Amino acid sequence: MAVAKPLTKAQILDHLSKKTGTTKKLAGQFMEEFITLAYKEAKKSFVIPGLGKLVVSSRKKRKGRNPQTGAEIVIPARKVLKFRIAKQAKDTVLGPAKK
């Protein structure tokens, strides 16, 4: 059973240009600007309606183990970037959740 490969950037741009009736170059410019805006606004949270939300989250300091030596270490607190998938996207891809 072969695993399907994800779309490449070129394939995505080709699809967008055909669907919108624009050039690949214009579709690429739109995509680059959209990504730049998402990076800029992520600190406040960036919502893509119907897909999800890009948010910055804080992780607390915690204890962990060095996998090679088994020694206990402290993992420092830090900020991480997360993408929370919208319910609409989950339901569309996976089907409605069963109760």
How many domains in the chain? 2
Residue 14: is its pLDDT beyond 60?
yes
pLDDT band at 97 (very low <50, low <70, confident <90, very high): confident
Q: Quick check: is 3 in a domain? A: no
pLDDT in tens, 25-81: 999 999 999 999 999 999 999 999 999 999 999 999 999 999 999 899 999 999 999
Nearest to 31 by CA among 43, 14, 45, 46: 14
Q: Which range marks the domain in which residue 53 is found?
A: 45-99
CA 43 to chain centre: 14
Residue 9 is predicted with a pLDDT of 94
Residue 1 is predicted with a pLDDT of 56
Q: 92 and 69 in one domain?
A: yes
Give the C-alpha separation, 72 to 80, whole Å.
Answer: 23
Give the C-alpha separation, 18 to 31, whole Å.
Answer: 14
